[in-house]
Structure 1
Amino acid sequence: MEYKNSMGSRIQVREIKRKSLFPTLFSKLLTLYLSILVVTFIFFFAIFSNAFQKYYVDYTENIMIKQAKLIASEYQEVGSMKQSLQKTLERVFLRVEVLDSYLDATTWIVDRDYNMVVASGKQDSMMMDRKLANPEVIQEVFKGNVISQQTGFEQYFATPVLTVGYPIILGNQIEYALFIHTPMPQIQKIIDEVRDILMKAVFITTSIIFVLIYFMSKQMTKPLKQMNQIAKKIANGDFEKRVSIDGEDEISQLGSSLNYMAGELDKIEANRKSFIANVSHDMRSPLTSIQGFVTAILDGTIPPEKHEKYLRIVLNESQRMIKMTNDILELNKMEEGNLPLKKMEFDIHEMIRDLLDNFEQVTKEKEVKVNVILDKKDQMVFADPEKIARVVQNLLDNAFKFVNKQGTIEVETVAKQHKIWVYIRNSGPAIPEEEQKNIWERFYKADLSRGKDKKGMGIGLVIVKETMKQHNEELGIISKEGEMVTFYFTLSKI
């Protein structure tokens, strides 16, 4: 872009646009969903993995304690059932072998002097009759406690072990301490296998969800892309394009709003073209008359004694053009908020009576009957008197314009709580329902208006609408076949 500094020199300024890491809504949605998915799976994987590890260690420990209890019960039967020690040891060794095979465990039985009585597994020959160097742990078992720990016997094993200690009672005295050792790597191996299975399941699930997220994001952003393209076409003046609506979600509602906007813009554009055509027609008629009369006066076609008559016609046509121009300018200022209200107290009934006097000529020409039904003689209201006078004038002008010959005009006021309702009615043709909402549009002018009146441009009711909108008052129309057409508005009474 190019600018001038205070010295008049031209300065070139280049706009720098930062490239976004995620330039499209699709990439943002996809990244967001995938980030949530990955973080969620990592979080639950970590929790499940730690929970399973604790569960499996506790599960193995419970099995070891249960087996230790069974082995201890075999020794107890020696005293209670008079069984031989040899048979008892046979059953103990058989159970120890099963335990060693199932858990890859090592089983020790230690006497009260800390000497090894039974040692299974690879250490049976090395550990037999050997005195153990862990008196604190052994003493704890001989006190009658069941222990479970993952430390204390490192010097006897190449890898960490899970150890369970259980007292063996013969008679009423603890004679032996039973220790079962299971290698922690064996336990960890099972845990790692479960983690691998879980990781594969997570990977497969993530892949499936990724595909679903990808197509879901595509499906969500597809109508938005279409809306973007159609919005650009609407911006270029192509109001006939519409968005395909499928569903009732927020995106579909946005598409419906875009279609509604396109329809309204199309209608406004049509009314604008009609307005321009109407203005051109209304302006051309007085200009043609002015040009014709002035030319005729200048070239002598119109004799001097008739100059005054035709100059008055030229003056009237000029005044009509000025009124048209002033109406357009006033409407623009009202819509832009450049015409502030000047509210004060005034008598609305007196205003209505004064304005009705302006229609005495048309009343006689159309042989119209005028009924005035006022709530009371005087009624003070608080509003902008100049603008309200314009409202009443425009509504009366509209009523006299469309009233049928020998018809009826009725003006009524009704007091309701803190409001005064003003009704202006006229007999004659009803306004079709489809046109009732259009008569308030800026560029709308029904063909009926052009056929009956050549003096207006169809913006009188728009000025009425904008004025009542500024006053925050109600304005409406009631028109049914066979009934009088009624325009009404409200004012705040004093």
Structure 2
Amino acid sequence: MKRRLSLKFFFGYIVTIVIGFLFIAVAGSHVLDNLMTNQAINNMRNGCNLVLSSYRTQTAGSIQELSFLTAQLKAISSFQECDIWIIDQTNQVVTSAYTIQPAPTEIPEFDPTAGGDRSYLVGDFYGQYSEPVITVYTALTRSFQTYGYVISHCKVSTIIERREAILKVAYITWIGMSILSAILILFFRIFVMAPLKKIIKAASEYAAGNLSYETGIHSHDEMGYLSDTLSYMSGRLNSIGEDQKRFVANVSHDFRSPLTSIKGYIEAILDGTIPPELQDKYLKIVLNETNRLTNLTQSLLTLNNFDANGILLDCSHFDINDVIRKILATFERRCQEKKICFEFTVPSKEIFVYADMGKIQQVLYNLIDNAIKFSNPDSIIAITVTIHHEKVFISVKDNGIGIPKENLPKIWERFYKTDTSRGKDKKGTGLGLSIVKEILQAHNENIDVISTPGVGTEFVFSLPVS
């Protein structure tokens, strides 16, 4: 890709330079030649008309006494770099001024009709000049009578020299623009092509699986932004890859442990290691492990459904206080076993919210289940409902083991468990808080956590007031 792009720019540069040169050398030369020839003819015609105007205002028609025009003829001749003559009707030169060569005494071959409608000639003017000249002539008339002619000559070589001087400037400009374009292409190669090559190399490395590859681009322009974006993408892909590995490891562990227990107990029952009078006890253990696998599978299916289809909400108006009371009732037996009490505080008997009741029940169940799981025996779990600025805030606070500060950002990750030894969380799937986060985000609501190791943890989430 780099070579193709470089070649495109190189050939584009060459074609532009060649077209520019041809335009100046061919089209520009031709246009300038016509332009400067017409300009010279117009200037000479204007000079002749100026002499004619002076003649008409200062004579009565005689063409023999024209000494008063000498100064004017010399000025015109010098300014236009031309010869200017005045001849009478017999083609005798009456007066003249020159910068090319002196005027002859007469021009017997002069024919004022030779130029046709153009009133100018190109050539040696009847053999009077050794090189081509442009000749412009105007009749000296007064009272509708012609007394002679004003004739102006300019060398063709003079016009060519003027054209070449302008073309020289054009060629110098063309060379300067070519050098500037080459410098711009060099800068483009350094500041665009070189970083682009590094980015292509990085993309190839990422495609090959080397997600830790660094582009080495640290600029603050578009290339730097593209490099940073690729680096961020590779970092996210690397993180996702690590998450997948951790996910597989956690799933393997959480499936292998109960399956190992189930297999061991069933084999022991079948080979008689466990006597019949103890089989009920161990079959209940097998049943609990089966329930654990069922819960794990259900949680995985729930999260997978969230990922694939998003969370579809069936929102309605309901009393959040009533929902909390019913959920607390389902944990009565577990609380009695650990001697845990619920402290439920509400600002009013009924508080209606607008949300998906089924999914909010799942949020509350997961948070209260975690609170019971990690609370110390003979402790209190406080559930508090408050209203502030059209929002209902539900708090679930325990007096358990707490969560270390460095682990707080990780608790929303799938399969993450703060109790790495799994001492207090042997039945947990590590998916509960992930499900809570997904559900509340689908409601466009937030959940926050405050925790102190050895003191307890508080989760607070919001819902819209009905």
**What range is the shorter-chain TM-score in?**
0.7 to 0.9
1:302 and 1:215 mapped to 2: Cα distance?
Answer: 83
TM-score, structure 2 as length reference: 0.76
Name structure 1 gaps, 5 residues minimum: 1-19, 80-84, 138-148
The equivalent residue for 2:371 is 399
Report if aligned partners of 1:117, 1:129 keep a CA contact under 8 Å in 2: no
Equivalent residue letter for 1:254: L
Of 198, 221, 227, which aligns to 1:249? 221
Q: Secondary structure at the match of 1:413?
A: strand
Map Cα deviations across residues 109-134 of structure 1 (whole Å, 9 max, x no partner).
13477754246556833744676525
Of 337, 342, 360, which aligns to 2:309? 337
Report if aligned partners of 1:335, 1:466 keep a CA contact under 8 Å in 2: no
Map Cα deviations across residues 47-69 of structure 1 (whole Å, 9 max, x no partner).
99899779967986798689879
Equivalent residue letter for 1:220: V
Displacement of 1:179: 3.5
The equivalent residue for 1:99 is 78
Report if aligned partners of 2:119, 2:137 keep a CA contact under 8 Å in 1: no
The equivalent residue for 2:121 is 153
Q: Secondary structure at the match of 1:477?
A: strand
The equivalent residue for 2:395 is 423
The equivalent residue for 1:372 is 344
The equivalent residue for 1:280 is 252
Map Cα deviations across residues 367-411 of structure 1 (whole Å, 9 max, x no partner).
545332234322333433322221211122233334455555332
Which sits farther off after the overlay, 367-376 or 24-33?
24-33
Report if aligned partners of 2:121, 2:135 keep a CA contact under 8 Å in 1: no
Find out whether 1:110 has 2:87 as its counterpart.
Answer: yes
Of 441, 447, 461, which aligns to 1:476? 447
Report if aligned partners of 1:116, 1:131 keep a CA contact under 8 Å in 2: no
Report if aligned partners of 2:355, 2:443 keep a CA contact under 8 Å in 1: no
Find out whether 1:124 has 2:103 as its counterpart.
Answer: yes
2:399 and 2:27 mapped to 1: Cα distance?
Answer: 82
Q: Secondary structure at the match of 1:124?
A: coil
Map Cα deviations across residues 285-321 of structure 1 (whole Å, 9 max, x no partner).
2122212211221121211111111111111111111
Name structure 2 gaps, 5 residues minimum: 60-64
TM-score, structure 1 as length reference: 0.72
2:27 and 2:337 mapped to 1: Cα distance?
Answer: 94
Q: Secondary structure at the match of 2:211?
A: coil
Report if aligned partners of 1:271, 1:443 keep a CA contact under 8 Å in 2: no
Q: Secondary structure at the match of 2:210?
A: coil
Map Cα deviations across residues 140-198 of structure 1 (whole Å, 9 max, x no partner).
xxxxxxxxx975335847857274869899xxxx9876442224453133213421442
Of 421, 429, 434, which aligns to 1:462? 434
Q: Quick one: structure 1 residues 345 and 115, their matched pair in 2 at CA, closer, same or farther if it must change by over 3 Å?
A: same
The equivalent residue for 1:15 is none
2:7 and 2:109 mapped to 1: Cα distance?
Answer: 70
Q: Quick one: structure 1 residues 225 and 95, their matched pair in 2 at CA, closer, same or farther if it must change by over 3 Å?
A: closer
The equivalent residue for 1:10 is none
Equivalent residue letter for 1:354: K
The equivalent residue for 1:133 is 112
Report if aligned partners of 1:242, 1:262 keep a CA contact under 8 Å in 2: no
Displacement of 1:213: 1.0
1:153 and 1:235 mapped to 2: Cα distance?
Answer: 78
Q: Secondary structure at the match of 2:412?
A: coil
Map Cα deviations across residues 36-88 of structure 1 (whole Å, 9 max, x no partner).
88889999999998997799679867986898799999999x99xxxxx8997
Q: Secondary structure at the match of 1:468?
A: helix
Of 283, 286, 293, which aligns to 2:265? 293
2:27 and 2:344 mapped to 1: Cα distance?
Answer: 85
Aligned residues: 451
1:446 and 1:25 mapped to 2: Cα distance?
Answer: 53
Q: Secondary structure at the match of 1:455?
A: coil
Aligned CA-pair RMSD:
4.7
The equivalent residue for 2:288 is 316
Q: Secondary structure at the match of 2:343?
A: strand
Q: Secondary structure at the match of 2:120?
A: coil
1:353 and 1:366 mapped to 2: Cα distance?
Answer: 19
